[in-house]
Structure 1
Amino acid sequence: MIAYVRGILTDKEADSIVVEAGQVGYGIHVPMSVLEALPPVGEEVKIYTHMAVKEDDMSLYGFLSREELAMFRMLIGVNKIGPKGAMGILSALTLSDLRMALFTGDVKRIAKAPGIGARTAQRLVLELKDRISADDVLMQPSGSETAAAAQTVPDVTGTAKEAVEALTALGYSAFEAAKAVKKVEITEEMSTEDVLKASLKYLAFL
């Protein structure tokens, strides 16, 4: 099994790249999020990979973070979701938004991914929702997960969850509420009301 490939990025295509490592060029399928975050051709990259083996094919699928790779493997573990479908989902939704959609049961948002209908999206939510925690959704950095390392944040999940519940009580969807709360840089000194007010400012611009 190839855990990752580190080498020189030599080519970019619409849905794949070539990385030269040890005088071997590795063709790797990547989602749009990875393509957009990659450096220019000629620079060194490190791609975390998953190898899919079939009777007539061996393919590498790659990501810039272990978190994206883990999500890819969760997706292909769902019945009738193959690597192509998983890559489509990860191209249509950021890791952050996908976690939020699964956690809040936002079937419509997931169904917007190419090749993923409402029934498939419902199956994904049903099978993966319990594997996404509030910490995953609320305490991840809101910037680019593919390029940035995880950040240490204070343990304020309880306050964040209360703010999400308050926003949903005001009529916002769970997805909108979670996304708004995540935009707030919550400190241990902030109350639920403080987080709620800051979240409402973000929602006012949507």
Structure 2
Amino acid sequence: MIAFLKGTIEDITENSLVLDVNGIGYEVLVPGQLLDMLEGIGQELKVYTYMQVREDAVVLFGFLTRDDLAMFKMLIGVNGVGPKAGLGILSALGTEELRFAVLADDAKRIAKAPGIGAKTAQKIILELKDKLDLAEVFEQKLNADRQQEAAVSAGSGMVQDAVEALVALGYGSTEALRAVRAVKADTVADSEQLLKEALKHML
């Protein structure tokens, strides 16, 4: 069992990343919200993992905090919610928003996640509500915010500046973010240099 991985980001795709850990590349499926927080290729990152063993493959799912991983495990414990569906829910809502949706009986909000219908959303609320405590939700949100600040470096502001500049130049936000992510984090010193390097990936 792999509890966590810590290494350098070697590649980033639409829903996963490749983490170089001592020369071995691990492909890890991660929530979209985690991908949005990354600086790009070359960044050091630690993810807490869940390993799914199937007949045809071994799949790793990665999360920025233990809290996110715990919520993922609760989700896949619900009948009818598999690992990919659980990842989709956390990509669409995030851990804290999902907690509030469960406690507020907001099935419509949960059903906005890809592949999740109204019945499954109600089942998630039914099975998770007793496991969550409102006071604990607020405490965990504070802890999660602190962990995210520690896990993602200050370069995120530089990334945002570069993406906004590309959008201002007429590029789509998704296309701009992908180009910025393709730049190795350790090769740029500021947002202007990051923008120049990202533009090369747009050509």
Query: TM-score of the superposition, structure 1-length normalised?
Result: 0.69
What is the one-letter code of the residue matched to 1:82?
Answer: G
Q: Which secondary structure state, in structure 2, belongs to the residue aligned with residue 14 of structure 1?
A: coil
Aligned equivalent of 2:54: 54
**Contact 2:65/2:144 (CA < 8 Å) preserved in 1?**
no
Q: Quote the Cα distance in structure 2 between the aligned partners of 1:20 and 1:113.
A: 30
Aligned equivalent of 2:26: 26
C-alpha distance after superposition, 1:134-174 (max 9, x if no partner): 1233332298576136xxxxxxxxxxxxxxxxxxxxxxxxx
Aligned equivalent of 2:169: none
**Which stretch has the larger CA shift, 118-127 or 139-148?**
139-148
- Identical aligned residues as a percent: 48
Larger RCO (CA under 8 A, 6+ residues apart): 2
What is the one-letter code of the residue matched to 2:104?
Answer: T
TM alignment of 1:18-167, pairs within 5 A = 18-139=18-139, 140-141=141-142, 144=145, 147-148=148-149
**Contact 2:67/2:144 (CA < 8 Å) preserved in 1?**
no
Q: Quote the Cα distance in structure 2 between the aligned partners of 1:142 and 1:108.
A: 27
Q: How many residues align?
A: 149
Q: Which secondary structure state, in structure 2, belongs to the residue aligned with residue 69 of structure 1?
A: helix
Aligned equivalent of 1:196: none
Q: Quote the Cα distance in structure 2 between the aligned partners of 1:67 and 1:27.
A: 21
What is the one-letter code of the residue matched to 1:125?
Answer: I
Q: Which secondary structure state, in structure 1, belongs to the residue aligned with residue 149 of structure 2?
A: coil
Q: Kindly state the Cα deviation for residue 51 of structure 1 after the two structures are TM-superposed.
A: 0.2
Q: Kindly state the Cα deviation for residue 109 of structure 1 after the two structures are TM-superposed.
A: 0.6
- Change beyond 3 A, Cα 1:127–1:138: same
Q: Where do 4+ consecutive residues of structure 1 move more than 6 Å?
A: none
Aligned equivalent of 1:161: none
**Contact 1:63/1:146 (CA < 8 Å) preserved in 2?**
no
Q: Kindly state the Cα deviation for residue 50 of structure 1 after the two structures are TM-superposed.
A: 0.4
Query: TM-score of the superposition, structure 2-length normalised?
Result: 0.70
C-alpha distance after superposition, 1:105-159 (max 9, x if no partner): 111110110100000000000000011111233332298576136xxxxxxxxxx
- Change beyond 3 A, Cα 1:146–1:78: farther
User: Structure 1: any 5+ residue segments left out of the alignment?
Assistant: 150-206
RMSD of aligned alpha carbons: 1.7
Aligned equivalent of 1:3: 3
